[in-house]
A and B are shown apart, each in its own frame.
Chain A
């Protein structure tokens, strides 16, 4: 599956050149693990185990798809933003998410998978993306809740990925993390405005928190006891913290933020554990998570339909661009402007 145009940093060789025959596979694996243990970065042309490559492709592609599909629930409110300020902010945020998708597709491509193949998997419904984006955005307060909680959870997940062992992924994550902070802050500011507003606005904010709280906790993935990939990913330093560790961190920073808003976290069992200095959440309903993941979420169908429609509607533009490039020579210098 290594094919044309797969490297973005190292492009002239025919693949991660594997020394032939005589080098013992076990020794090679050991050398690879030793590099990881020394915190060396693995780069596209370096030798890597096939499983490492596959695990990264799976994770980065899922991540890229999530950024792209994640534009849809928020895009839903651009035309109805209550002020010009809120509208430009929302457009900028949604555009960032598109950008994040682009950085991540590029990183995945360095592993030998083509962009077209990844997009095709998404459109065919064969690719996973974060199930949070299969929930609808019913009110304007959802835009605040998404920025605050969904981007907040994403940041929690993404910061450790800046130190991921695979260079192109780590570098993409650094760029993304720099941009995420504004996403979360604009969301919290929006919630704060509603929380300080009329009774109806406060109720709207509370209702959005009620709907987004549990799905946000589920964004960290299944609990460690049921997580299939965690141990190997940690050994490879693709992952640095377990799902439950990150979820706990998120709960600890988010509960006081909800209190400041004067809103109630929709978890009757939530309590402060004084000796451990942690908030303890009640049990998560994983059957819901599974159902949404398997396509039973409120918007699974709608999200994919929207992506397919955008892809088809853009087809003539892509074809026109190719025709134009062929006519004028793809290597033609861009027009000089003074």
Chain B
């Protein structure tokens, strides 16, 4: 019967100096084919200079249900931002 090839997530570095960014996914029989399919599917217009592929099943993701528990604690820590500190205008280069 019809069975899907493994799912891979695709990450593309759009220019040298930039990070790889997730662009989508595709199916492939192996990693080499995943790179080739990613080239054809996601870089037909010079969108990238480097490709990463990773088996989707290897990705561990946080659960949306625990988003609050994970991220809420950072909300009230405004002293982590430079704008928290009042410095007189006369003081330069700070």
Within 8 A of A (CB), among B34-77: 35, 40-41, 44-45, 55-57, 59-61, 63-65
B63 contacts A322, CB within 8 Å? no
Q: Which residues of B contact A (CB under 8 A)?
A: 1-7, 9, 22-27, 29-33, 35, 40-41, 44-45, 55-57, 59-61, 63-65
Q: How far is the CB of B10 from chain A (nearest CB, A)?
A: 9
A13 contacts B61, CB within 8 Å? yes
Q: How far is the CB of B66 from chain A (nearest CB, A)?
A: 10
A328 within 8 A of B: yes
Name 6 interchain pairs, CB-CB below 8 A, sorted by A: A13-B61, A116-B2, A120-B2, A321-B29, A330-B31, A332-B30
A211 within 8 A of B: no
List of B residues within 8 angstroms of A321 by Cβ? 5, 29-30, 33
Given A332-B31, A333-B31, A334-B32, A8 and B25 contact (CB-CB distance below 8 Å): yes
Bound-complex Cα distance A331 to B23 (A): 21
Question: Per a CB cutoff under 8 Å, which of B2, B9, B57 touches A119?
Answer: B2
Given A5-B56, A11-B56, A106 and B4 contact (CB-CB distance below 8 Å): no
B7 contacts A109, CB within 8 Å? yes
Spot the interface stretch: A52-60, A96-104, A154-162: A96-104
Chain A contact-residue range equals: 35 or more
A9 contacts B61, CB within 8 Å? yes
B24 contacts A325, CB within 8 Å? no
Given A115-B27, A328-B30, A332-B31, A8 and B7 contact (CB-CB distance below 8 Å): yes
List of B residues within 8 angstroms of A318 by Cβ? 5, 29
For chains A and B in complex, what number of residue pairs have CB atoms within 8 angstroms? Answer: 95
B6 contacts A5, CB within 8 Å? yes
Within 8 A of B (CB), among A81-99: 92, 95-96, 99
19 additional A-B residue pairs with CB within 8 Å, beyond A8-B9, A92-B44: A8-B56, A12-B59, A12-B61, A17-B63, A17-B65, A45-B64, A47-B64, A96-B44, A102-B41, A115-B4, A115-B27, A116-B2, A116-B4, A179-B44, A179-B45, A322-B5, A328-B30, A330-B6, A331-B31
Bound-complex Cα distance A5 to B30 (A): 15
Q: How far is the CB of A129 from chain B (nearest CB, A)?
A: 19
A7 within 8 A of B: yes
Bound-complex Cα distance A9 to B33 (A): 20
Most central of B25, B35, B60, B61 by chain A CB within 10 Å: B25
List of A residues within 8 angstroms of B9 by Cβ? 8-9
For A19, give the chain B residue with the smallest CB separation.
B65
Bound-complex Cα distance A41 to B40 (A): 28
List of A residues within 8 angstroms of B25 by Cβ? 8, 106, 109
A253 within 8 A of B: no
